[in-house]
Chains A and B, each alone.
Chain A
Amino acid sequence: MSRPELIAPPEIYYGDVEATKYTNNTRIQQIQADMTYRALELLNLPPDEPAFLLDIGCGSGLSGEILDEEGYTWVGVDVAPSMLEVALEREVEGDLFLQDIGQGFGFRPGSFDGAISISVLQWLLNAETSHPTSSPPHRLTRFFTTLHSALRNPSRAILQFYPTSDDQIQLITSIAQKAGFGGGVVVDYPNSKKARKVFLCLFVGGGGSQVPKGLDGEEVEAGEDQAKFESRREKSGKRGKDGKRKSIKDRDWILRKKELYRQRGKESIPRDSKYTGRKRKTVF
């Protein structure tokens, strides 16, 4: 896979053409959807309770749409106006903000019950300018510090991203830790070149929770520092319950929602098909 983050700054790479191409690509839709469901699983929110979530780098709303389906209220931030415009066209429900996450957030302490970020963090590893405030470590520090304070205690942030090296994982986890987060990295399908996915699982408070296991049996890919980072929590006993959220919205709910969209004049609602409301394949 080519690395978009090496080509141009995000707001330029995701211009009008690319934003549309990205969003309409069914393969991308599927991959982003799968990772969003997995992120929600790792987020481990109390089942059947409403929650207020932050979607970091929400883009055109491929991840946010699933938050809608799942009945969450959410806020999305992204630095690419064209992506946000597509999100508006798709009538996602979340409040959208044009924001560079490397500049930090202004949300009041404890605003969110959790945060997800799908395929975004690798962008912060590349400096856009040579100005000192935009060095990656500085931007990451600002990002994690203000994210930590915007989350309530206890809660989690799950950030799937595409690192190019273990050094990058080290850098990110150590900055997150300095910002006050507990947690670590979960690697799904570590031995598959194609299916391998890296999730940074960050905890605010709630010292009892353990870093969840990666899929495929293999647990966490830990570098030295990281191992330290995690062993601290292994000692602390109590296991985070793998409470599966069962309320994947039923067909009725989706149909109602589609009807609502149609009434509002949204055109691109897929026709109801036999697949409508089918449970997507679960990853566990």
Chain B
Amino acid sequence: MVRLITHNLLACHAKNCTSNNFPLQFKDIEIELREAEFNPDFIRGFLPKLEWKALIDAAKQLGDTSLPSEQPEMIDDEFLKNLHHVLLEIHIEEGAMICPNCQHVYPISNGIPNMLLAEHEIG
């Protein structure tokens, strides 16, 4: 059950992979939409944590273009609802995430990304 809310926080953690290691690139993704309870306060509070461009790109890749390319100054309900949908209701079920720097592949199966590193990748 990886969603864009966590994808947006996730960088590669392989040994010596410390720059250009975010965002992980999706590959061969299958998604599932599932409704989640809308909590505007939570979404508003989360805004400062987001890397906006990475989020927009990822959402686009998953077929959602409801968000503006710049984070808006005026936060209205419609925006929060769209953001809620993008962050919490799109579940990535299968596929992989690939580090743009070291190319490590984090496979996703049954909604669960495998973050385990091989021995030589452990920092």
Binding site for B on A (CB under 8 A): 49-50, 52, 71, 73, 75, 77, 79, 84-85, 88, 93-100, 103-108, 110-111, 131, 133-134, 142, 146, 264
CB-CB nearest 5 A-B residue pairs: A106-B13, A50-B42, A99-B115, A111-B9, A95-B6
B residues in contact (CB < 8 Å) with A: 1-3, 5-6, 9-13, 21-22, 34, 36, 39, 41-42, 45-46, 49, 51, 88, 110-117, 119, 122-123
Chain B residues lying within 8 Å of A94, measured Cβ to Cβ, are 1
Q: Is the CB of A98 within 8 A of B113?
A: yes
Looking at the assembled complex, report how far the CB atom of B75 sits from the nearest CB atom of chain A, in whole angstroms: 15
CB closest residue in chain B, given A138? B122
User: Which secondary structure dominates where chain B touches chain A?
Assistant: loop
User: Quick check: B110 and A88 within 8 Å, CB to CB?
Assistant: yes
Structural contact, A52 and B46, CB atoms closer than 8 A: yes
B101 to A: closest C-beta gap in Å = 12
In angstroms, how far is the closest chain B Cβ from the Cβ of A25? 24
With known contacts A50-B42, A104-B123, A133-B119, A88–B10 Cβ distance under 8 A: no
Contacts of A49 in B (CB 8 A): 41, 45
| Nearest CB on B from A198, distance (A) | 28
Establish whether residues B13 and A84, one from each chain, have CB atoms under 8 Å apart when the complex forms.
no
**Would B12 and A106 count as touching, CB distance under 8 A?**
yes
Given contacts A107-B10, A111-B49, A142-B123, contact A96 B111 (CB under 8 A): yes
List the B side residues contacting A79 at CB < 8 Å. 116
- Chain B residues, Cβ within 8 Å of A110: 49
